[in-house]
Amino acid sequence: MTQTQQIPSIQLNDGVEIPQLGFGVFQVPPKDTEQAVTLALEAGYRHIDTAAAYRNEEGVGRAIDASGLRRDEVFLTTKVFNHDHGRDRTLRAFDGSLGRLGFDFVDLYLIHWPVPTKDLYVETWKTLEELHDDGRIRSIGVSNFNSDHLERLEREASTTPSVNQVELHPYFQQPELRSFHAEHGVATEAWSPLGQGYEIGDDTIGTIASGHDKTPAQVILRWHLQLGNVVIPKSVTPERIRENIDLFDFELSHEDMDRIAQLDRGERLGPDPATFEAP
């Protein structure tokens, strides 16, 4: 059985299925993106996560196009960034992303950050609903939204986001937000799933990894999968790309999961969604 056949999918609240393990290209330089995504697709990944703000959509599109895979065999996510909130700017941003990717639809389109000081994320969300209704996006979601942002969408919009992609790793586990997602039918997707590498050296993670004859990174990614998270590790190293998909020949015990749960420090590495205002 190939790695691709082993990767489970999660059914989102709109019926779309998303591969639970994907490949992220945040901080992958544009010049390296096509090669990295090509290696990921060759290794068996069928879910690629990019964003307009990453400035590497072109490389993602070229790699998928050259892969020999049908477009419907690859789940593709991109995002609208902060300076493009509001209906007209969002529509232009979406067209720009499609043009750079070279495709006529995406599988998942996310609002990258809520930017509450602009107070435009509801209008932006309603624009995503329009694009979804037009068939140009299969599923719509958000990224870096807190529960109060999600509650406002629930009150003022017609649909619930299918996904909330948030910072989540063993030192920052967001249990309250994950519980909110579960109650409201929103899938949790983890960015920076390895804590930007800091947690790979954790003694508890290392002990668990030794017990399974796996690397610390594999243990952390397996922990995400068993929690039910969608997870999108990033690497440009061929060995790491292959290692990060090799997660389906072992399982963490309840004790392993409990020990990792106790590592939560509430330590955020990225910006706080309540205050982040990058243009």
Which residue type does 198 have?
Y
54 is catalytic: yes
C-alpha dihedral, 109 to 6 to 247 to 1, nearest 10° = -140
**Pairwise CA distance, residues 272 & 261, whole Å:** 22
Name residue 163's beta-bridge partners: 187
Which residues have CB under 8 Å from 114's CB, separation 6+?
121, 142, 144, 145, 146, 149, 273
What are the structure tokens assigned to 15, written together? 């019926």
- Per annotation, catalytic residue among 45, 54, 109, 121: 54
Instruction: Point out which residues pair with 190 in neighbouring strands.
Output: 166, 231
Which of 166, 132, 173, 131 has its CA nearest to residue 149? 166
How far is residue 142 CA from its own chain's centroid?
10
- Distance (Å, whole) CA 116 – CA 119: 5
Q: Which residues are catalytic?
A: 54
